[in-house]
Amino acid sequence: MSILTIENLSKNYGGVKALKNVSFSVPEGTVFGILGPNGSGKTTLLGIVMDILKATEGNYSWMGQQHSDQIRKQIGTLLETPNFYHYLSAEDNLRIAAKIKGKGEEDIPKVLELVNLYQRKDSKFNTYSLGMKQRLAIASTLLGDPGILVFDEPTNGLDPAGIAEIRELIKQLNKAGKTIIMASHILDEVEKVCTHVAIIQQGVLKTVGSVGSVMNTTSSNNVTKLLIEVNAADNALLKNILLQLNGIESITNEDNELQLTCNETVTAEQINKFCFDKGVVLSKLNLKRKSLETRFLEITGKQSDR
């Protein structure tokens, strides 16, 4: 089931096109990262699907339905810096948030436990670290037990410890059955926490899919390629043998190792057996996994759209 479906979404600010015909779907049960350089249109996209901004063109739907107050109640949202009363406790701040939402006051002890703040529920907000403040903001989104969570840059400005806390919390919430949509420019965090990703640059959707499929796609026509490292006592002989194997598209020599680019029909086991049958024993055989950062730079070619 698709939780969110976006169709040809565009947003213009005068002569500036913040989004250009963006289309993709968010599968149920995923942690879906909307990834892009600063200024790429991520926040604009979330603002539109949360009915804060109006699209210039295009449509979107939640669970196959047009946006409505009833749909909105099923979504927990954190789009801005946490905004709480500094001299009130966590519990009191959540009580106010629940009254504004018209639901969820009975959830306060549970959500404080979920974000690991129950022991600090009586502490004033201004005594919290940045990570604790962000966890309290996430607790506020959980009031009423929404099945969908939407976060804009949930780890922005946090130190490594705070980032790790939010990362583990997102994983925990996803395991509990919640679909999470998060915009971020921090590639390492998206790779560690997201199951799916859409990469946007200058308002244009560059690629979308599972994190694994996006990282393994290396060609311009989005055909999946495998990168495999091999080594043997005689690499010249090894290269001549491997050139005979169907599915290997290129072989380069880097740091006394052979780097193979293969199509998706080739397996590591197949390479190992083929070489052994030809009388060559491999001393190394490694299926190389690209980092999301490497793939991101291949797609965008730069860090910022500003």
The per-residue b/e assignment along 55-77, b for 16 or more CB within 10 angstroms, e otherwise, is beebebbbeeeebeeeeeeebbb
List the domains of the chain with CATH numbers.
2-215 (3.40.50.300), 219-289 (3.30.70.100)
d(CA 17, CA 280): 57
Place of tokens 């491999």: 282
pLDDT for res 17: 93
Instruction: Output the pTM of the full model.
Output: 0.76
- pLDDT, residue 219, reads 46
Per-residue pLDDT of the chain (306 residues; tens, 9 = 90+): 899 999 999 999 988 999 999 999 999 999 999 998 888 999 999 999 999 999 999 999 999 998 788 888 889 999 877 789 999 999 999 999 999 888 899 999 999 999 999 999 999 999 999 889 999 999 999 999 999 999 999 988 888 888 888 999 999 999 999 999 999 888 888 888 999 999 999 999 999 998 877 776 554 444 556 788 999 999 999 999 999 999 998 999 887 899 898 887 888 899 999 999 999 999 999 877 666 766 777 777 754 555
What is the reported pLDDT for 220?
A: 46
Dump strand ranges (E) for 173-247: 179-184, 196-201, 204-210, 225-231
Residue listed under structure tokens 């107050």: 69
